[in-house]
């Protein structure tokens, strides 16, 4: 459990329905995320993902790989927009480990190699069970 395979990777596609669901959950109904007609007239040309929907994908991969761990710190940057219907790739790499503290780097890359999310986090791993 603690020695999850690193780096771990996940390829995924978000849909407009995912953007709409995250808008309802977060209360963030900004038209750039939920209104395709409005978004077509912006410089993006179409709706873009909420940054925190991308963080949701990262967080759930962390939970799957390190069950029972606690997220202490998270830094995020959102250099490029992530669009619906495009294949995105998430890679999580280990930076260092200090006892139960695990320092990770996460990157979500879009179809043209653009970085949609880059983040660093500190996870506290659960105490090892006595064996």
CA distance linking residue 91 with residue 11, whole number of Å: 9
13 contributes a contact to another protein by CB under 8 A = no
Residues 26-55 touching another protein, rule: CB under 8 A, are 26-31, 50-53, 55
The alpha-carbon radius of gyration of the chain (Å, integer) is: 16
Whether 66 and 60 have beta carbons less than 8 Å apart is answered as: no
- Report strand pairing: 101-109 vs 8-13: unpaired
Q: Considering only 1-9, 22-30, 82-90, 101-109, which stretch makes contact with another protein by CB under 8 A? A: 22-30
CB nearer to another protein: pick between 28 and 131: 28
CA 64 to chain centre: 13
Q: What is the per-residue binding string for another protein in 70-99, x denoting contact by CB under 8 A?
A: xxxxxxxxx---------------------
Using CB under 8 A, list all residues that contact another protein.
18, 21-22, 25-31, 50-53, 55-57, 59-60, 63-64, 67, 70-78
């Amino acid at each position: 459990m603690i020695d999850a395979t690193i780096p771990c990777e996940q390829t995924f596609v978000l849909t407009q329905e995912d953007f709409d669901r995250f808008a309802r959950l977060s209360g963030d109904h900004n038209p750039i995320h939920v209104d395709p007609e409005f978004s077509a007239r912006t410089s993006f040309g179409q709706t873009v993902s909420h940054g925190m929907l991308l963080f949701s994908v990262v967080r759930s991969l962390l939970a799957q790989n390190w069950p029972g761990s606690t997220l202490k710190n998270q830094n995020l940057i959102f250099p490029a927009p992530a669009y619906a219907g495009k294949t995105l790739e998430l890679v999580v790499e280990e930076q260092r480990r200090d006892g139960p503290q695990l320092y990770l780097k996460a990157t979500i890359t879009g179809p043209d190699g653009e970085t949609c999310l880059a983040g660093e986090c500190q996870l506290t791993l659960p105490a090892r069970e006595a064996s």
